[in-house]
With several copies, the nearest count.
Chain A
Amino acid sequence: MIKIRYFARLREHLGTADEQMALTPEIRDLAALTEQLRRRGGVWSEAFGGEQSVMMAVNEEVADAAQPLRDGDEVAYFPPVTGG
């Protein structure tokens, strides 16, 4: 299982803050996971369709699409940050 968290505008748009997902062999990296989420359609294809930029983190570190995923990982999706 992996945990997926969504923040800020993305969380509101998807209507969910986090979810658990079984890690299948196809979901070997962030690119594959993101594609799987996009295929859910509706707000998911809007959020991950590339119109708005989305940042990703794995285990609290910023990561890119090539980042491999392992069981127990915490993945996060969020918009560009605006703190400070």
Chain B
Amino acid sequence: MRRSIRIQAEAFDPLEVAGDLHRDNPGVGAVVSFLGLMRDLNQGRRVLSMTLEHYPGMAEKALRRIVEEAAERWPLQAVSVVHRVGELRPQDPIVLVMVASSHRGDAFRACEFIIDFLKTRAPFWKKEQTEQGEHWVEARSNDLASELRWRARDDR
């Protein structure tokens, strides 16, 4: 399985990442991707910008582990994860998870698994700048619930 994991302060073009995934890989029948974008509104507050902090080294390691776990659960042909850090503006891509497989069910399952675990396991933290000042984003219990779903079921 091809793997690519990138953490970067530079903006990325989701469109370029997509092209790299299935090119020259004629066994790939399905590519499912998740793109997380910065919204201009969070819990009713207008957000002007966002700063993403991470734990260098551990963040890469956590993402690699999540990708390996997905590859053990489903037959995958390629996975690409790109995560921004640093300063972001509304509409900026934050994260892109892209999974290529022979069949669509496996690709859907693996893509959602990776983003669900990324949200609860990978050491990234968001700070929002609003008109009322800045604050750290609180972890959402929803995200924990999404992760826990995967333990209760077997989607292989």
Least CB distance from A49 to B in Å reads: 18
Instruction: Determine whether A65 belongs to the interface, using a CB cutoff of 8 Å to chain B.
Output: no
| A interface residues, how many (CB within 8 angstroms) | 16
Q: Can you list, as one digit per residue, whether each of A54-84 has a CB less than 8 Å from chain B (1) or not (0)?
A: 0001001110000000000000101111111
Number of A-B contacts (CB under 8 A): 73
Interface size class of B (residues with CB under 8 A): 20 to 34
Overall SS of chain B's interface: mixed
Contact B123 A7 (CB under 8 A): yes
Instruction: Determine whether B52 belongs to the interface, using a CB cutoff of 8 Å to chain A.
Output: yes
Contact A81 B119 (CB under 8 A): yes
Residues of B at the A interface (CB closer than 8 Å) are: 36, 52-55, 57-59, 61-62, 83, 94-95, 115, 118-127, 136-140
- CA gap between A8 and B36 in the complex, in Å: 21
